[in-house]
Structure 1
Amino acid sequence: MAALRPLVKPKIVKKRTQSDRCVQMKRNWRKPEALTIGGPILMPSVGYGATRKQHRLPSGSRRLLVPNVKELEAPLTCSLTVLIAHTSPQRPPKPLGEEQPSCHQATNPDARLRSERVN
Protein backbone atom coordinates (compact mmCIF):
# COMPACT_ATOMS: atom_id res chain seq x y z
CA MET A 1 0.00 0.00 0.00
CA ALA A 2 1.05 3.52 -0.64
CA ALA A 3 1.90 5.67 2.31
CA LEU A 4 -0.59 8.35 3.19
CA ARG A 5 0.63 11.89 2.91
CA PRO A 6 -1.15 15.16 3.68
CA LEU A 7 -2.78 17.09 0.87
CA VAL A 8 -0.97 20.20 -0.30
CA LYS A 9 -3.39 23.07 0.06
CA PRO A 10 -2.70 26.76 -0.53
CA LYS A 11 -2.43 28.74 2.65
CA ILE A 12 -5.30 31.16 3.06
CA VAL A 13 -4.00 34.59 4.04
CA LYS A 14 -6.87 36.61 5.41
CA LYS A 15 -7.03 40.37 5.22
CA ARG A 16 -6.38 42.10 8.51
CA THR A 17 -9.40 44.37 8.71
CA GLN A 18 -9.54 47.24 11.14
CA SER A 19 -5.76 47.41 11.26
CA ASP A 20 -6.11 51.17 11.66
CA ARG A 21 -7.57 50.63 15.13
CA CYS A 22 -4.83 48.28 16.28
CA VAL A 23 -1.56 49.96 17.19
CA GLN A 24 0.58 46.85 16.78
CA MET A 25 -0.45 46.26 13.16
CA LYS A 26 1.13 48.29 10.37
CA ARG A 27 -1.35 49.80 8.01
CA ASN A 28 1.00 49.96 5.02
CA TRP A 29 -1.27 52.53 3.42
CA ARG A 30 -4.22 50.18 3.30
CA LYS A 31 -7.71 51.56 3.20
CA PRO A 32 -9.54 50.44 6.35
CA GLU A 33 -12.24 47.93 5.59
CA ALA A 34 -14.79 46.67 8.04
CA LEU A 35 -18.43 45.85 8.23
CA THR A 36 -19.21 48.69 10.59
CA ILE A 37 -16.94 51.69 10.47
CA GLY A 38 -17.90 54.43 12.87
CA GLY A 39 -17.82 57.38 10.53
CA PRO A 40 -15.42 58.30 7.75
CA ILE A 41 -11.75 57.65 8.40
CA LEU A 42 -9.36 60.20 6.97
CA MET A 43 -7.04 58.72 4.40
CA PRO A 44 -3.84 60.23 3.03
CA SER A 45 -4.63 62.44 0.08
CA VAL A 46 -3.14 65.28 -1.90
CA GLY A 47 -6.07 67.47 -0.88
CA TYR A 48 -4.73 68.03 2.62
CA GLY A 49 -1.85 70.18 1.39
CA ALA A 50 -1.53 73.86 2.17
CA THR A 51 -3.30 76.22 -0.24
CA ARG A 52 -0.84 79.07 0.05
CA LYS A 53 0.75 78.24 -3.30
CA GLN A 54 -2.43 77.74 -5.28
CA HIS A 55 -3.56 80.16 -7.99
CA ARG A 56 -0.22 81.92 -8.17
CA LEU A 57 1.40 83.45 -11.22
CA PRO A 58 4.98 82.50 -12.08
CA SER A 59 6.09 85.75 -10.45
CA GLY A 60 4.59 84.57 -7.15
CA SER A 61 1.73 87.08 -7.01
CA ARG A 62 -1.99 86.47 -7.15
CA ARG A 63 -4.18 87.70 -9.99
CA LEU A 64 -7.08 90.07 -9.25
CA LEU A 65 -9.80 90.56 -11.87
CA VAL A 66 -10.79 94.22 -12.11
CA PRO A 67 -14.10 94.69 -13.94
CA ASN A 68 -13.92 98.49 -13.84
CA VAL A 69 -10.85 100.70 -14.21
CA LYS A 70 -12.08 103.00 -11.44
CA GLU A 71 -11.39 100.24 -8.96
CA LEU A 72 -7.68 100.66 -9.61
CA GLU A 73 -7.75 103.81 -7.47
CA ALA A 74 -8.43 101.73 -4.36
CA PRO A 75 -5.29 100.68 -2.50
CA LEU A 76 -4.22 97.14 -3.27
CA THR A 77 -1.64 94.97 -1.65
CA CYS A 78 1.61 94.47 -3.50
CA SER A 79 1.11 90.71 -3.73
CA LEU A 80 -1.69 91.16 -6.29
CA THR A 81 -1.42 91.51 -10.04
CA VAL A 82 -4.25 93.29 -11.82
CA LEU A 83 -6.11 91.69 -14.72
CA ILE A 84 -8.38 94.17 -16.51
CA ALA A 85 -11.59 92.47 -17.60
CA HIS A 86 -12.35 92.40 -21.30
CA THR A 87 -15.77 93.89 -20.54
CA SER A 88 -14.24 96.95 -18.91
CA PRO A 89 -16.15 100.03 -20.11
CA GLN A 90 -13.10 102.24 -20.52
CA ARG A 91 -9.40 102.03 -21.07
CA PRO A 92 -7.02 103.18 -18.36
CA PRO A 93 -6.21 106.87 -18.96
CA LYS A 94 -2.47 106.28 -18.58
CA PRO A 95 -0.40 103.14 -18.63
CA LEU A 96 -0.44 101.46 -15.27
CA GLY A 97 3.31 101.84 -14.80
CA GLU A 98 3.20 105.66 -14.99
CA GLU A 99 0.18 106.51 -12.87
CA GLN A 100 0.00 103.77 -10.26
CA PRO A 101 2.73 102.62 -7.89
CA SER A 102 4.99 99.84 -9.02
CA CYS A 103 3.10 97.20 -7.05
CA HIS A 104 0.11 97.54 -9.42
CA GLN A 105 1.24 95.44 -12.34
CA ALA A 106 -1.19 94.43 -15.05
CA THR A 107 -1.07 91.18 -16.94
CA ASN A 108 -2.89 92.85 -19.85
CA PRO A 109 -2.15 96.61 -19.79
CA ASP A 110 -3.48 96.95 -23.37
CA ALA A 111 -7.00 95.91 -22.49
CA ARG A 112 -9.76 96.12 -25.07
CA LEU A 113 -11.12 99.60 -25.67
CA ARG A 114 -14.89 99.74 -25.72
CA SER A 115 -15.79 103.32 -26.56
CA GLU A 116 -19.42 102.84 -27.56
CA ARG A 117 -22.11 100.64 -26.22
CA VAL A 118 -24.04 98.71 -28.79
CA ASN A 119 -27.70 98.33 -27.89
Structure 2
Amino acid sequence: MTPQEWVTSGDDQAGDIPSPVGFRILIKPYRLPKFSAGGIALVGESKQYADIAKVAGQVLKMGSECYRGERFSAPWCKIGDYVIFPKHAGQTIEVKRNDGQDPDQYLLVNDDEIRAVVKDPSQIKAYL
Protein backbone atom coordinates (compact mmCIF):
# COMPACT_ATOMS: atom_id res chain seq x y z
CA MET A 1 0.00 0.00 0.00
CA THR A 2 1.50 3.33 -1.02
CA PRO A 3 1.43 6.36 1.28
CA GLN A 4 -1.19 7.92 -1.01
CA GLU A 5 -3.49 4.90 -0.72
CA TRP A 6 -3.64 4.79 3.05
CA VAL A 7 -4.26 8.51 3.36
CA THR A 8 -6.94 8.79 0.71
CA SER A 9 -8.71 5.47 1.19
CA GLY A 10 -12.15 6.14 2.58
CA ASP A 11 -11.78 9.92 2.80
CA ASP A 12 -14.99 10.35 0.81
CA GLN A 13 -16.85 8.71 3.69
CA ALA A 14 -15.19 10.69 6.48
CA GLY A 15 -17.42 12.79 8.66
CA ASP A 16 -16.66 16.34 9.70
CA ILE A 17 -12.87 16.41 10.09
CA PRO A 18 -11.89 18.94 12.78
CA SER A 19 -9.82 22.01 11.99
CA PRO A 20 -6.99 22.57 14.47
CA VAL A 21 -6.64 25.95 16.13
CA GLY A 22 -3.61 27.84 17.42
CA PHE A 23 -0.35 25.93 17.07
CA ARG A 24 -1.96 22.48 16.64
CA ILE A 25 -1.52 20.15 13.64
CA LEU A 26 -4.04 17.52 12.50
CA ILE A 27 -2.36 14.28 11.37
CA LYS A 28 -3.77 11.10 9.89
CA PRO A 29 -1.61 8.39 11.50
CA TYR A 30 -0.17 5.66 9.35
CA ARG A 31 -1.89 2.32 9.89
CA LEU A 32 -0.77 -1.00 8.52
CA PRO A 33 -2.92 -2.65 5.85
CA LYS A 34 -5.08 -5.58 6.93
CA PHE A 35 -2.81 -8.01 5.05
CA SER A 36 0.98 -8.33 4.96
CA ALA A 37 2.92 -8.19 1.69
CA GLY A 38 2.84 -12.01 1.67
CA GLY A 39 -0.95 -12.08 2.01
CA ILE A 40 -1.04 -13.00 5.71
CA ALA A 41 -3.92 -11.40 7.61
CA LEU A 42 -2.76 -9.14 10.41
CA VAL A 43 -5.35 -9.54 13.14
CA GLY A 44 -5.79 -8.91 16.82
CA GLU A 45 -2.75 -8.15 18.91
CA SER A 46 -0.22 -8.37 16.07
CA LYS A 47 -1.90 -5.55 14.11
CA GLN A 48 -2.60 -3.57 17.27
CA TYR A 49 1.07 -3.83 18.31
CA ALA A 50 2.23 -2.80 14.85
CA ASP A 51 -0.15 0.17 14.76
CA ILE A 52 0.97 1.38 18.17
CA ALA A 53 4.61 1.09 17.15
CA LYS A 54 4.04 3.43 14.19
CA VAL A 55 4.99 7.03 14.73
CA ALA A 56 4.35 8.51 11.28
CA GLY A 57 1.44 10.18 9.54
CA GLN A 58 0.37 12.80 7.03
CA VAL A 59 -0.26 16.44 7.90
CA LEU A 60 -3.86 17.20 6.91
CA LYS A 61 -4.48 20.63 8.48
CA MET A 62 -2.53 23.21 10.47
CA GLY A 63 -3.68 25.88 12.91
CA SER A 64 -3.09 29.52 12.05
CA GLU A 65 -0.35 29.97 14.67
CA CYS A 66 1.84 27.02 13.63
CA TYR A 67 5.55 27.83 13.41
CA ARG A 68 5.13 31.51 14.23
CA GLY A 69 7.18 33.46 16.70
CA GLU A 70 10.83 33.76 17.62
CA ARG A 71 11.35 30.02 18.19
CA PHE A 72 10.91 29.18 14.51
CA SER A 73 12.96 30.53 11.62
CA ALA A 74 10.88 28.50 9.12
CA PRO A 75 8.05 25.93 9.20
CA TRP A 76 9.16 22.38 10.03
CA CYS A 77 6.46 20.82 7.82
CA LYS A 78 3.53 21.71 5.58
CA ILE A 79 0.15 20.25 4.66
CA GLY A 80 0.65 17.02 2.73
CA ASP A 81 4.01 16.15 4.32
CA TYR A 82 4.57 12.77 5.94
CA VAL A 83 6.01 13.37 9.38
CA ILE A 84 7.41 11.52 12.38
CA PHE A 85 6.19 12.36 15.89
CA PRO A 86 6.76 10.86 19.37
CA LYS A 87 4.72 7.75 20.24
CA HIS A 88 2.72 9.44 22.97
CA ALA A 89 2.40 12.86 21.36
CA GLY A 90 -0.84 14.73 21.04
CA GLN A 91 -4.44 13.69 21.41
CA THR A 92 -6.05 10.88 19.43
CA ILE A 93 -9.55 11.63 18.17
CA GLU A 94 -12.03 9.54 16.22
CA VAL A 95 -14.41 10.89 13.59
CA LYS A 96 -17.56 8.95 12.76
CA ARG A 97 -17.77 7.85 9.14
CA ASN A 98 -20.85 8.37 6.97
CA ASP A 99 -20.82 4.76 5.75
CA GLY A 100 -21.16 3.15 9.20
CA GLN A 101 -17.64 1.65 9.15
CA ASP A 102 -15.25 2.01 12.09
CA PRO A 103 -14.44 5.66 12.83
CA ASP A 104 -11.37 7.28 11.27
CA GLN A 105 -8.60 8.15 13.73
CA TYR A 106 -6.65 11.38 13.71
CA LEU A 107 -4.02 12.91 15.94
CA LEU A 108 -3.79 16.53 17.14
CA VAL A 109 -0.20 17.47 18.00
CA ASN A 110 1.62 20.67 18.86
CA ASP A 111 3.76 22.13 16.08
CA ASP A 112 6.96 21.54 18.07
CA GLU A 113 6.22 17.80 18.42
CA ILE A 114 7.09 17.11 14.77
CA ARG A 115 10.48 15.34 14.71
CA ALA A 116 11.15 14.80 10.99
CA VAL A 117 9.67 14.87 7.50
CA VAL A 118 9.89 11.58 5.55
CA LYS A 119 9.11 10.50 1.99
CA ASP A 120 7.62 7.08 2.77
CA PRO A 121 6.02 6.52 6.19
CA SER A 122 5.61 2.80 5.56
CA GLN A 123 9.38 2.46 6.00
CA ILE A 124 9.37 3.95 9.51
CA LYS A 125 9.15 1.74 12.57
CA ALA A 126 9.50 2.51 16.26
CA TYR A 127 10.04 0.07 19.08
CA LEU A 128 8.06 -0.13 22.30
Query: Fold conserved (TM > 0.5)?
Result: no
TM-score bucket of the superposed structures, by smaller chain? under 0.3
More strand per residue: 2
**Larger CA Rg, structure 1 vs 2:** 1
Question: TM-score, normalized by length of structure 2?
Answer: 0.17
Higher relative contact order (CA 8 A, sep 6+): 2
Question: TM-score, normalized by length of structure 1?
Answer: 0.18
